[in-house]
Amino acid sequence: MKWNKCAPIQHDDENRLFVSGRYGSKAVVSELNRLAERHGARLGMTRRDFLKSQMGLAASFLALNSVFGHFFLVNSAEASDPDLARDQIERYANQFIFDVQVHYLHEEFPEPENLLALRRAADDWNPKLDDEKHDLEDLLFENFYREVFVESQTTCAVLSNAPSDDKEGWFLTNEQALATREKVNSRTGKRSLLGHAVITPGQPGWEEELDKSLELKPDAIKGYTIGDPVGESEYPWRLDDEKLVYPAYEKIQKAGIRNICIHKGLLPVGYEQKLSPELVAYANVDDVGQAARDWPDLNFIIYHSAIERVVPIVQDVDDFQRTGRIKWVTDLSEIPEKYGVTNVYAELGAVFAATSVAHPHLCAGILGTLIKNMGADHVCWGTDSVWFGSPQWQIEALRRFEIPETVQKQHGFEPLGPADGNVKNMIFGKNSARLYGIVPEDYLPRHDTHAA
């Protein structure tokens, strides 16, 4: 099985969604172009071919460091030496990577444009996507399988899902999602894909839907307390609603399921004008602690680490630098101590993608805050792929990402350490393996790797 690499930022003069702002994106592109022209010419490669290579990936991290400061561990020789660049990948061929948030859409999904817009935004760091026209096929099963299980070093994953007030607006039905689990595992011959069943407390017939889903033996439950993640919902709910939701927890627990995965934060761009304050309140984490304390045998895995916006803005970076706090992320991280619980976890889907190459200082703050307050053993790897293309670029970015010493000293953060060190191995897979009863050693050795 082969996989391909892709550089993490767009390489033309247009600066799109995630790399816009005053924090140096044009300077990053300019420096990357300079490196591409210099090294590509010497190697007899076109600019585009260089940028799609592993050397181009290294050049991307060098360019980011030159503008933002030293956030990525990269040797300058990797941008000019094909063998050295290849070695950087092959040394981690058998690292256990458990991605607990991947997605695709059913073929009749009515309005894929918003999700395709995320892939267009990901052109900013992923030139492989820049070659594509970005149509519905990108978001369907076959491309999902290719990008997650062929084009990345992901070992296993959890297929997530999202509901809507209108049933047609679900990414997948629970039946489709759990059938996909069997389809993928049949192809790979192992437990490569796990699956969520989504609950929608308050919607008509939701309890019957839960009963049907439990018969399909999902690996975890997924919920959106805001109701519908893309607009005003008639059915928001709270995790600590004893009358509405606690009976469901009892059913879930009796079915042998221990993991409750909850979408928090990640509000759309301009949500202040689109959503009522009453609805927005359901997106924060003030209902997590009590539910976790009342249900100690369930794990509450908070997706996106509850970051407020799907697209962080410059003000978010400034606020962290000024106060040391990140809206809702810091609140989440303080729940274990505040409520005396150990069953609350943070997941990195979308939040790492949206900050690591656009606002690395904020990314350092998020990772440092979660690890400092919750422990590295309570942070779970997720990528929200395929919305951003293959997860490989995110894997590469976390392997190399480090919290600068100045930030460590200022906020009392510990270093993340090497790509295959204890902290990153826990985040990449060991934590989620523990939650889902998976033995990482059962997946090794995984497969041969080849430089693209």
273/256 same-domain check? yes
Cα separations in angstroms, 213 against 218, 219, 230, 437: 7, 11, 23, 20
Say how far residue 287 (Cα) sits from the centre of its chain: 23
Assigned domain for 139 exists: yes
pLDDT tens sequence across 50-69: 988 889 989 999 999 999 99
pLDDT attached to residue 214: 99
Question: Looking at the predicted structure, is the pLDDT value of residue 7 above 70?
Answer: no
Find the mean pLDDT for residues 112-135.
Answer: 64
pTM of the model: 0.91
Identify the domain boundary among 90, 122, 141.
90
Percent of the chain with pLDDT over 90: 74
85/115 same-domain check? no
Angle, to 10 degrees, between the axis of helix 54-68 and the axis of helix 392-400?
Answer: 50
pLDDT attached to residue 1: 30
pLDDT attached to residue 448: 46
62/177 same-domain check? no
pLDDT attached to residue 9: 35
60/188 same-domain check? no
61/103 same-domain check? no
Answer whether 307's CB lies under 8 Å from 328's CB. Answer: yes
Q: What mean pLDDT is reported for the chain? A: 89
pLDDT attached to residue 446: 63
Percent of the chain with pLDDT over 70: 89
pLDDT attached to residue 450: 39
pLDDT attached to residue 106: 83
What pLDDT band is residue 369 in, cutting at 50, 70 and 90? very high
Assigned domain for 419 exists: yes
pLDDT attached to residue 53: 87
Q: Which residue has the higher pLDDT, 137 or 161?
A: 161
pLDDT attached to residue 305: 99
pLDDT tens sequence across 147-204: 999 999 999 999 999 999 998 899 999 999 999 999 999 999 999 999 999 999 999 9
Find the mean pLDDT for residues 21-44.
Answer: 82
The type of residue at 349 is G
423/385 same-domain check? yes
> How many domains does one find in the chain?
2
The type of residue at 17 is L
197/71 same-domain check? no
CATH value at residue 436: 3.20.20.140
71/211 same-domain check? no
Assigned domain for 359 exists: yes
Say how far residue 172 (Cα) sits from the centre of its chain: 19
pLDDT attached to residue 167: 87
Question: CB within 8 A of 158, min separation 6: which ones?
Answer: 99, 100, 101, 102, 193, 194, 195, 196, 219, 220, 261, 382, 432, 436
pLDDT attached to residue 132: 55
Question: Looking at the predicted structure, is the pLDDT value of residue 78 above 70?
Answer: yes
Answer whether 240's CB lies under 8 Å from 253's CB. Answer: no
Assigned domain for 446 exists: no
What pLDDT band is residue 123 in, cutting at 50, 70 and 90? low
Assigned domain for 10 exists: no
DSSP calls for 135-185: -GGGGSHHHHHIIIIISS---EEEE-----SSGGGSSS-HHHHHHHHHHHH
Question: Looking at the predicted structure, is the pLDDT value of residue 271 above 70?
Answer: yes
50/112 same-domain check? no
Taking the C-alpha atoms of 234, 236, 241 and 244 in order, what is their torsion angle to the nearest 10 degrees?
40
What pLDDT band is residue 128 in, cutting at 50, 70 and 90? low
Assigned domain for 5 exists: no
Find the mean pLDDT for residues 78-83.
Answer: 94
Place of tokens 């790897």: 381
Find the mean pLDDT for residues 398-405.
Answer: 98
What pLDDT band is residue 14 in, cutting at 50, 70 and 90? very low
Task: Show the domain range for 329.
Answer: 98-440
165/235 same-domain check? yes
What pLDDT band is residue 18 in, cutting at 50, 70 and 90? very low
Assigned domain for 445 exists: no
User: Environment class of residue 243 by beta-carbon count within 10 Å: exposed (0-12), middle (13-18) or buried (19+)?
Assistant: exposed
pLDDT attached to residue 230: 81
Q: 380-399 in b/e burial notation, b at 16+ Cβ within 10 A?
A: bbbbbbbbbbbbbbbbbbbb
Question: CB within 8 A of 445, min separation 6: which ones?
Answer: 93, 94
Question: Looking at the predicted structure, is the pLDDT value of residue 391 above 50?
Answer: yes
Report the alpha-carbon distance of residue 130 to residue 309 in Å, rounded.
24
What pLDDT band is residue 365 in, cutting at 50, 70 and 90? very high
Identify the domain boundary among 90, 108, 123.
90
Identify the domain boundary among 45, 67, 90.
90
326/199 same-domain check? yes
Say how far residue 448 (Cα) sits from the centre of its chain: 25
148/199 same-domain check? yes
pLDDT attached to residue 428: 99
Report the alpha-carbon distance of residue 184 to residue 12 in Å, rounded.
36
Question: Looking at the predicted structure, is the pLDDT value of residue 124 above 70?
Answer: no
Assigned domain for 448 exists: no
Question: Looking at the predicted structure, is the pLDDT value of residue 435 above 50?
Answer: yes
Answer whether 264's CB lies under 8 Å from 225's CB. Answer: yes
Using DSSP, state whether 7 is helix, strand or coil.
coil
pLDDT attached to residue 121: 66
